[in-house]
Chain A
Amino acid sequence: MKAKDLMIPLHEYLKPDNTLKEAANILRTAKRDEEKIGVKGLPVLDENGKMVGFLSIGDILKAVFPAYMSLMNLGDFAWDGMVEGMAKKAGNKRVSEMMTKKVISVPEDAPLMECVDHMIKNNIKKLPVISNDGRVAGILYESDVFFAIAKAMLGENPEGEK
């Protein structure tokens, strides 16, 4: 099985100068597949369709987390409504400020083990899959790799039939 067999094809993407507000809305309404709505991350593409970064919901969490809280143990002194207050301020930041710029991706023909290798060594749960023409074809999710492994363990065929 290869990366392209398991990936979810890309329907939506983000632009570097999207605000986080816009990005958050796209992330929560993007179609994951036919039924599910909401994704955990999307690639950021420039005007030529080239991937320049990746924004995940973790980056949105980081955007509201004040840098000073990472410098000391201040979690005990947060107040109710602090996240909401920070979210209002962070909403106008640009996607380019918060996105991961060095994105680890795989070519569409990469064997599944190459994908697992990236996921384990870099502790990532989403892997953009790059088509032969250099565009982002889709996203490979850790959970889908898990389902493939589960099927293999249970001796089911790839189509899920016994």
Chain B
Amino acid sequence: MTQGVPAAIQPFVMDTAFWTATTIFLLAYAVIVSERIHKTTVAVFGAGLILIFKILDQREAFHVEEFGVDWNVIFLLISMMVIINLMRPTGIFEYIAIKSAKWGKGDPFRILAIFAVVTAVISAFLDNVTTVLLIIPVTILIADALEVDALPYLISCALASNIGGTATLIGDPPNIMIASKAQLNFMDFIYHLTPVIIITMVFYVFAIKLIWGKKLKTREELKQRIMSMDENEAIKDPVMLKKSIIVLGIVLTGFVLHGALHFQPATIALFGAGLLLLLSKTHEPHHILAEVEWPTIFFFMGLFIIIGGVVKVGLIKWMSIKVLEITQGNLFATSMVVMWFSAFASAFIDNIPYVATMNPLIIDMAKQMWPDLSGIQLLHHVNLMPLWWSLALGACLGGNGTAIGASANVIVVGMSEKLGKRISFGKFMLYGMPMMIMTVVISTVYVWLRYYVLKI
């Protein structure tokens, strides 16, 4: 089976454990894609099987970073959710949205463009689902006030949130996972991904101008409805708001400095969540904690264990050998394959399990290319770095391709339906797919130019 493979990458044996883990992994994937059973249930049950069949022992699943739950990801997500849950009742998000609409002077397209930018910026720092949940209700209120079609605002909100989320370490779960596995810090993402996302947003605004600019028209007297809204009325708890802004400031400063201070991002976020809980003087933290999206958290935990199982038995290593065979070790080709494959894969399947699978795959590829290196020297090899960025860009931006590509899209489509404005799968794709291709083309040019031509 392994004849002809150099000793250094003598990978594994295709024994019972290999096939058991592979079967659990493939079945879990298939059921998640089919959406017959809730993905969290599938992930938790799959993880249970990995342990029961002794693919991993419990210590590996809970305490070994290489195979088990990535607590850095888990605590970063939980802590950020707690911070947002504490901030939400202050009215800050309503304030920002109304302020933005007034900034647009009541002009429907200007508001659409400003909302897109605001959504992208908020998504860069909060998770995308939270962002769209906070923006969408105000968006529809504004569309109703202006008596224009809400559809452009709804779709644009999802698309912009996925683009914006790509910009930072904490913007989108794939980035959080990549950062943790590849030991990249907040500033690495700012330095490598934020520039291309800013460029992408400029193109995005031109693109929506082209698509919707002419259709969005309103009457002068309706603009007055927007202009007469008083955003200050949105602030329900100014004291808590001040505390929240201080804590958010500390957390963001902490993220910027976490690499230099040798803290993991989760440490910073957990400290922020704890501090804000303390300052809120709440006597009922269980309300705040109950609002954490536990299904998402458990989805991650289950998934990490399933992926850990297939990493341990060598399936991922086998896949990485195949990828290298296809690209013949050419790193530019590899990063392009990674980016475009990730984009189309993420458009149709959840990018969280996808990236959870790709992370160890890229590490295994690196081990084969540079068998003498290990640790940070391996993970941050100058020729490996573009692969991480390609994975992040592909997996995050790919989410825009279809209505099921990213959780933000699912939320937007779900909410729209509830609000009586149905967006069909085809309708979303009509806007999402071209937008995905445009943004991935921009990323392709960026990665090629920056890492393979200019090499900066």
Contacts and interface: CB of A to CB of B under 8 A. Distances in A.
Given A74-B141, A79-B145, A68 B236 contact: no
B233 A72 contact: no
Contacts of A76: 229-230, 233-234
Contacts of A143: none
B140 A66 contact: yes
B375 interface: no
A71 interface: yes
Interface in B72-101: 91, 93-94, 98
Given A73-B91, A74-B141, A67 B230 contact: no
Interface string B134-159: 10111011001100000000000000
A76 B235 CA distance: 10
B419 A68 contact: yes
**Most B-side CB within 10 Å, residue of A68, A71, A77:** A77
Interface in B2-43: none
Contacts of B145: 79, 82
A71 B233 contact: no
A73 B136 CA distance: 13
Interface in A38-77: 66-69, 71-74, 76-77
A72 to B, nearest CB: 4
B122 to A, nearest CB: 14
B105 interface: no
B140 A68 contact: yes
Interface size class on chain A is 10 to 19
Given A68-B419, A72-B94, A72-B134, A77 B229 contact: yes
**Most B-side CB within 10 Å, residue of A67, A69, A72, A85:** A72
B419 A67 contact: yes
Contacts of A72: 93-94, 134, 137-138
Interface residues of B, number: 24
Contacts of A74: 94, 137-138, 141
A73 B94 contact: yes
B252 to A, nearest CB: 24
B377 interface: no
**Most B-side CB within 10 Å, residue of A68, A69, A74:** A68
A82 B226 CA distance: 13
**Most A-side CB within 10 Å, residue of B98, B141, B230, B420:** B141
Interface string B177-219: 0000000000000000000000000000000000000000000
Given A68-B141, A72-B134, A79 B228 contact: yes
B242 to A, nearest CB: 18
B225 A79 contact: yes
B418 interface: yes
Interface in A102-134: none
A71 to B, nearest CB: 4
A81 B141 CA distance: 14
Contacts of B141: 66, 68-69, 74, 77
Contacts of B420: 67
A148 B90 CA distance: 46
A71 B137 contact: yes
Interface in B412-442: 415, 418-420
A73 B88 CA distance: 10
A72 B138 CA distance: 8
25 contacts: A66-B144, A66-B419, A67-B418, A68-B136, A68-B137, A68-B138, A68-B140, A68-B141, A69-B137, A69-B141, A71-B137, A71-B415, A72-B93, A72-B94, A73-B94, A73-B234, A74-B94, A74-B137, A74-B141, A76-B229, A77-B94, A77-B141, A79-B145, A79-B229, A85-B144
- Shortest beta-carbon contacts, A-B, top 4: A68-B137, A76-B233, A79-B225, A71-B137
Interface of A: 66-69, 71-74, 76-77, 79, 82, 85
